Amino acid sequence: MMYDFFIEPFNHYAFLRRALVACIALSLGCAPVGVLLVLRRMSLMGDALSHSVLPGVALGYLLMGLSLPAMGIGGMLSGLLVALLASFISRQTVLKEDASFVGFYLIALALGAILVSTKGKNIDLMHILFGSILAVDKASLILIASITSVSVLVMALIFRPLVLECFDPIFMTSISGRGSLYHLIFMGLVVLNMVSAFQALGTLMALGMMMLPAITARFWAREVWSLYLIAILFAILSGFLGLIFSYHYSWPSGPAIILVAGVLYLITVIVGPYGSLRCRHT
Amino acid sequence: MSQDLKPTLSFKNVTIAYKNSLALENISLDFFKGSLTAILGPNGGGKSTLLKSILGLVPLESGEIKKFSSKYKDIAYLPQQTEIDRTFPLTVNDVIAFGACQAKGFFKEINQETNVSIQKALEKVGLKEAGSRSLHTLSGGQFQRVLFARTMLQDAQIILLDEPFAAVDRFTIEDLIKIIKEWATEGRTIIVVSHDLEFVQTYFPQSILLARRVIAYGPTEKVITLKNLRQARQVSYEWEESNFQDDKTMQFLKNDV
């Protein structure tokens, strides 16, 4: 019975196995990036960035059809463009960074939706917004795996300066002066992971794989490395359960995965061992 | 006080501006090896800006700052504690180890030698057993001790401390003062920004009264005089009257003058 419910579908269908592998790769890449976004108090910035990949994705779609590499590259470019424009505006004008990000991501989202609708059928728009993890083919699996590999390697390499920049930025500048370099590398990784997550989960849900496991882990761990580990585990668990529910009840896979991650988060808020509602003072 | 003739750090006619208004005007100062100097003055008087200019974090409008040091970057800086998130998921050891990054860079492993220095620093600040505790379990005083330990690992010739005793208990202050004095006897140059007049009078042999320009500079008993403090207050009137509500130095003056 348990076997039939949890294992058998993967045994039976290659597309489910591919989806699961994609989820595991995504978890390894996105969860650590999400943990640092949370620690940097940039959760909302991540949200804004995730929406800003849409016009690029739409352009890729208009030019090349439903081709994942084209949409991926387009998404990456528009994400980076919005990140640069928004930080330029916040440096040069009275607007703070969060406000200028919100301005740009709304423009990007609206523009993207209109671009898709000029050519596409609604079903395509749904694909782009909510992803199609069950349709992940070999090419996009390789792209996801490559992005994850790069992301994990770079995150390991710049672990120390990144954590320090996040913990005590003024001290960081006083000993190295290169804090903004690491910040930029990190933002690049955020966009990269966003692109790989959007392939599977869609632009609206991509951030979920990054943020929900990360904020859940906050209630389970007290050090950065263990936060990474627990966030990754939660992400994989969400991916696995989400796919199962998606298969059995024919829910759309992206929202199913994110909803599982969300439920795990809500449970943790109540029962988690650190700083949760149950133990507020630890 | 015996001093080398050559200062380790010297300001020559330094002027710094923030968005068209002067933050520091025509500052000339010398700091010597083994000296212990406090900087005081009203809010907005440029105390923190002075420290940041030594670090090279703010551009100079004119003048120059000379550093006579053997190593290229031989300055340790301890920012104000309020600017740090104390719930950050790190252990005490992690935080102290960051001090070693100044000399070693970010990409070398933390070896046995570094671990020994961390342990020594922990013992000096009175937190011998606390190495593996996580930050959020520390009190404000204990946290400041940890930051002092990190400063030790930086092993710098010039040490800059920005309000190191704000929000710290009396007991901790006394321990930390001992450490600062030890640093000075090791020949390091120490500059401390402080709000607290009594405090500076008790512990620091030299001080600088700063209100965008140097009001007075020299032995503390000659710097902290009614005349100088009045002058500092007069000057600070020019930029902000609201200063007097929350500024301890100026509060002290109000009762006094």
CA distance B178 to B203: 10
**pTM for the structure as a whole:** 0.84
Sorted by where each begins, the domain ranges of chain A are 2-271
Q: Which domains does chain B have, with CATH numbers?
A: 9-256 (3.40.50.300)
Give the Cα separation of B156 and B71 in Å (integer).
9
The CATH superfamily of A2-271 is ABC transporter involved in vitamin B12 uptake, BtuC (1.10.3470.10)
First to last CA, chain B: 32
Reported ipTM: the value is 0.82
Asked if A160 reaches chain B (Cβ–Cβ under 8 Å), the answer is yes
Closest residue in A to B100 (Cα–Cα): A175
Mean per-residue pLDDT pooled into runs of 10, chain A (282 residues):
85 89 95 93 82 87 79 86 83 81 87 82 74 80 93 95 89 81 88 85 86 94 93 96 92 90 95 84 56
Number of Cβ pairs closer than 8 Å across A and B?
60
Separation in Å, CA of B174 to nearest CA in chain A = 24
Cβ pair A181, A233 in contact under 8 A: no
Q: From residue A36, give the alpha-carbon distance in Å to each of A144, A154, A224, B78, B242.
A: 20, 13, 9, 24, 39
CA distance B210 to A252: 65
Q: Which residues of B touch A223 (CB under 8 A)?
A: 89-91, 94, 134
Torsion angle in degrees (nearest 10) through CA of A190, A194, A197, A198: 180
Residue type, B218: G
Interface with chain B: mutation pick from A157, A222, A227, A279, highest number of B CBs within 10 Å: A222
Quickly tell me which residue has 């989820």 as its tokens: A23
Mean pLDDT (chain B) is 84
pLDDT at A251: 87
Q: What is the pLDDT of residues A42-61, one digit of tens each?
A: 888 888 888 888 889 888 88
Cα Dmax for chain A: 62
Which residue is closest to B96 within chain A, CA to CA? Answer: A164
- The CA distances from residue B223 to A153, B39, B45, in Å, are 56, 11, 16
What pLDDT score does B243 carry?
Answer: 46
Distance from C-alpha of A162 to C-alpha of A147, rounded to nearest angstrom: 19
Q: Does the pLDDT at position B1 exceed 50?
A: no
How does pLDDT run across B21-31, given as a tens digit for each residue? 778 888 899 99
Residues with Cβ within 8 Å of residue B213, at least 6 apart in sequence: B24, B25, B26, B27, B235
